């Protein structure tokens, strides 16, 4: 209550609280609790959320559903039409091994698709304005009507100079290896690529699950293709090739799908095995950022110089917590991320990033 506790002000405050309630004595704390919103509801990126913010995906999920259909239909036909025959003629272990591979593939796919890939929070208006003033003072420039030239910082990582680029959308200096995804409209930590097949970005927090998905999918595809061919051969020895195809038309469909997909899946698995062994990302490899030879000037500062160590770090290291707290409640006095300004007048970054020293 303000000093003096005047009657008119008191009446005004109570009338505002009870505007949408039939009870004038309803607790303000209860109203705030009812009106509280979670952060995912006002998330600035182009993402879709499900299960009250627990599931996070990109908006374009059509190709992801195609991935699900291909895996489910092909595997379902295999278990329904091929496994009963193979379990009797060869060994019951075939459907067991196939089932283990199938559930592992689905688990890693959903884990990749439904998780935060490592989205970096955007700067708040106060953070953006504060850093903008610092940059203007450092550059000796004043706010003008034209977009300033690209602004960067430099840090030293294992003797290699790495530039930190400024994101005009998120208003932060991106940490090393981070990049802004144009489809999801987020800066993603250790950004690898945006994968429409999994319906999400692939970054620091879900890369290992993506790699395990494509690797296990390679084994599952080869497994199904090999035993479908085995099934057809065994039947053809009894009834002839054409009759074998007539008796099991589902096997033909499975063989066609597996034959045309196995090359790209196995090739992709091999490519990412190479990236993991050299501790690179797809984004860095496409841009040719680093050389695998330590003696060159643009050597990779993130590589540990050992294939085994690089693989252990990528696949067995701890998973960092999500930085966006998408299921947290929005507090009334919490500043929201600054709106994009096309880089003309606003410039910002998170305080923790502007003072951070990255060590490998």
Long-range contacts of residues 159-167, Cβ cutoff 8 Å, at least 24 apart:
159/301, 160/298, 160/299, 160/301, 162/301, 162/358, 166/347, 166/349
For helices 62-77 and 93-113, what crossing angle results, to 10°? 170
| Rounded-to-integer distance, Cα 27 and Cα 154, Å | 53
194-229 residues labelled b (16+ CB within 10 A) or e (exposed)? bbbbbbbbbbbbbbbbbbbbbbbbbbbbebbbebbe
Cα 159 to Cα 163, 179, 289, 292, distances in angstroms: 13, 22, 15, 15
> Which ranges in 114-248 belong to alpha helices (H)?
125-139, 207-239, 241-247
Cα angle 238, 239, 243; round to 5: 145
Query: What is the number of alpha carbons within 13 Å of residue 193 lying toward its C-beta?
Result: 17
Catalytic residue among 83, 170, 187, 195: 195
Quickly count: other Cβ atoms within 10 Å of residue 258's Cβ.
21
Q: Which of 242, 251, 240 is nearest to 80 (CA)?
A: 251
Quickly count: other Cβ atoms within 10 Å of residue 176's Cβ.
17
For helices 249-278 and 307-316, what crossing angle results, to 10°? 110
Q: Which of 263, 177, 164, 179 is nearest to 222 (CA)?
A: 263
| Rounded-to-integer distance, Cα 316 and Cα 34, Å | 42
Q: Any catalytic annotation for residue 195?
A: yes
Which two three-digit tokens encode residue 268? Answer: 């992709």
- Residues near 134 by beta carbon (within 8 Å), at least 6 away in sequence: none
Catalytic residues: 195
């Amino acid at each position: 209550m303000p000093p003096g506790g005047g009657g008119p002000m008191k009446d005004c405050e109570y009338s505002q609280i009870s505007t949408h309630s039939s009870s004038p004595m309803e607790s303000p704390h209860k109203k705030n609790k009812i009106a509280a919103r979670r952060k995912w509801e006002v998330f600035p990126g182009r993402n879709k959320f499900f299960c009250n913010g627990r599931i996070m995906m990109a908006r374009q999920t059509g190709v992801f559903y195609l991935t699900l259909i291909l895996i489910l239909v092909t595997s379902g036909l295999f278990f329904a039409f091929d496994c009963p025959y193979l379990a009797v003629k060869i060994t019951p272990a075939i459907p067991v091994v196939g089932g283990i591979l199938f559930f592992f593939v689905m688990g890693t796919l959903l884990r990749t698709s439904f998780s935060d890939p490592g989205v970096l929070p955007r700067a708040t208006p106060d953070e953006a304005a504060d850093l903008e003033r610092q940059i203007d003072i450092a550059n000796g420039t004043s706010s003008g009507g034209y977009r300033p030239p690209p602004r960067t910082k430099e840090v030293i990582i294992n003797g290699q100079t790495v530039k930190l680029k400024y994101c005009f959308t998120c208003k932060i200096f991106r940490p090393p290896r981070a990049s802004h995804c144009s489809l999801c409209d987020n800066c993603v930590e250790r950004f690898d690529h945006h994968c429409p097949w999994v319906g999400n970005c692939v970054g620091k927090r879900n890369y290992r699950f993506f790699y395990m998905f494509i690797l296990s999918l390679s084994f599952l595809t080869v497994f199904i293709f090999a035993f479908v061919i085995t099934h057809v051969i065994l039947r053809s020895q009894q009834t002839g090739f054409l009759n074998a195809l007539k008796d099991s038309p589902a096997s033909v469909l499975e063989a066609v799908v597996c034959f045309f997909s196995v090359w790209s899946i196995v090739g992709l698995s091999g490519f990412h095995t190479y990236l993991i062994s050299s501790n690179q990302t797809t984004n860095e490899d496409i841009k040719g950022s680093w050389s695998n030879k330590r003696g060159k000037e643009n050597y990779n500062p993130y590589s540990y110089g050992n294939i085994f160590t690089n693989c252990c770090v990528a696949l067995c290291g701890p998973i960092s917590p999500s930085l966006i707290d998408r299921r947290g409640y929005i507090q009334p006095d919490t500043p929201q991320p600054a709106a994009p300004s096309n880089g003309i007048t606003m410039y910002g970054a998170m305080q923790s990033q502007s003072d951070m020293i990255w060590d490998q």
